[in-house]
Amino acid sequence: QRVGLMAAGLVLAACGKQEPPAPAPVASAPEAASAPAPTPAKVYVVGTDAAYAPFESQNDKAEIVGFTIDVVSAVAQKAGFEVKFVNTPWEGIFNSLQQGDRDLLSSSITITEERKQTMDFSAPYFDAVQLIAVKADSKVARFDDLKKLKVGVQTGTTGDEVVTKLLGKTSSNVKRFESTPLALKELEAGGVDAVVADNGVVIHYVANNPDAKFKTVSDSSFAPEQYGIAVKKGNTELLDKINKGLADIKADGTYDRIYAKYFGAAPSAAAPAS
């Protein structure tokens, strides 16, 4: 009986301790009040699919980092606005812009005619091209060799587009994945014969996963692509700021420094100027 009473007392004590949750909203007030913000800059929410190293990915501390993050942060700093990066699955990313959940998207997004119908893009800030990843002992030598093979892509990417075109819309050999790393993992596991994705991400993955024993195969039939930052159609106010910031960081050497940090050389040395 005693034990029962004591237990009851403990339960009551525990209940009493659980009361505090209510004041929680109040607790955030002092934080905001203590923040020294003379002219609070507008904070724009940036959607990015952070499974795309070295462009956008999450580090050990779950912080979103990468080339894109450095570029957009530098652009924002120049243009006088603040940004908050929010990890956003690729498959819902364009919709999140449409719905107003994100103010801009920076996710290694290739500027395409089709996408331009539904959103506005900044000036291009990075050149890319599709690249094939296969096992080191694969006989694949060109894109055409993938016609009868199982090919992994990230759903709804430009890689998906080119592979779907080659294999056919109804082909069950196009294996679509939520993220590019998942497609590459499947290649390692032998579930697909090849993966087609943006060169920068494929090169980074191959270099950092030597145990996967991959090689890359390029093909001159792949069209050149350019990444742009997307805003909601008609949001010229934000787009102008972004383009101004981009031009400024290109002019003052900031862009080249960021580029060299991730890709080891100035863009002009690595790719023909566009």
**Residue 106 makes contact with ligand ARG by CB under 6 A:** no
Nearest to 121 by CA among 133, 110, 132: 110
Least distance (Å) from ligand ARG to the CB of residue 4?
58
**Residue 49 makes contact with ligand ARG by CB under 6 A:** yes
User: From CA 46, how far away is CA 104, in angstroms rounded?
Assistant: 5
User: From CA 111, how far away is CA 125, in angstroms rounded?
Assistant: 10
Question: Segment near ligand ARG (CB under 6 A), from 3-11, 152-160, 240-248, 260-268?
Answer: 152-160
Question: Segment near ligand ARG (CB under 6 A), from 6-14, 23-31, 104-112, 239-247?
Answer: 104-112
**Residue 88 makes contact with ligand ARG by CB under 6 A:** no
Q: Which of 66, 69, 76, 110 binds ligand ARG (CB under 6 A)?
A: 110
Least distance (Å) from ligand ARG to the CB of residue 93?
8
Burial class of residue 91 (count of CB atoms within 10 Å of its CB; 0-12, 13-18, 19+): middle
Instruction: Give residue for tokens 């002219």.
Output: 39
Q: Which of 44, 67, 85, 90 binds ligand ARG (CB under 6 A)?
A: 90
Closest to ligand ARG by CB, 79 or 119:
119
Least distance (Å) from ligand ARG to the CB of residue 243?
19
Identify residues 153-212 at the interface with ligand ARG (CB under 6 A). 154, 157-158, 180, 198
Burial class of residue 104 (count of CB atoms within 10 Å of its CB; 0-12, 13-18, 19+): buried
**Residue 70 makes contact with ligand ARG by CB under 6 A:** no
Tokens of 202: 């494929």
User: From CA 23, how far away is CA 274, in angstroms rounded?
Assistant: 56
User: From CA 158, how far away is CA 145, in angstroms rounded?
Assistant: 19
Nearest to 69 by CA among 34, 120, 108, 122: 108
**Residue 108 makes contact with ligand ARG by CB under 6 A:** yes
Nearest to 206 by CA among 133, 149, 270, 121: 133
Sheet holding 56-58, edge to edge: 51-52, 56-58, 64-65
Identify residues 217-246 at the interface with ligand ARG (CB under 6 A). none
- Which DSSP state fits 24? H
**Residue 263 makes contact with ligand ARG by CB under 6 A:** no
Least distance (Å) from ligand ARG to the CB of residue 43?
21
Closest to ligand ARG by CB, 78 or 90:
90
Q: Which of 52, 143, 214, 222 binds ligand ARG (CB under 6 A)?
A: 52
Query: Is the CB of residue 98 less than 8 Å from the CB of residue 232?
Result: yes
Question: Segment near ligand ARG (CB under 6 A), from 17-25, 49-57, 117-125, 266-274?
Answer: 49-57
Instruction: Give residue for tokens 């403990």.
Output: 10
Q: Which spans of this chain sit near ligand ARG (rule: CB under 6 A)?
A: 49, 52, 56, 90, 107-110, 154, 157-158, 180, 198
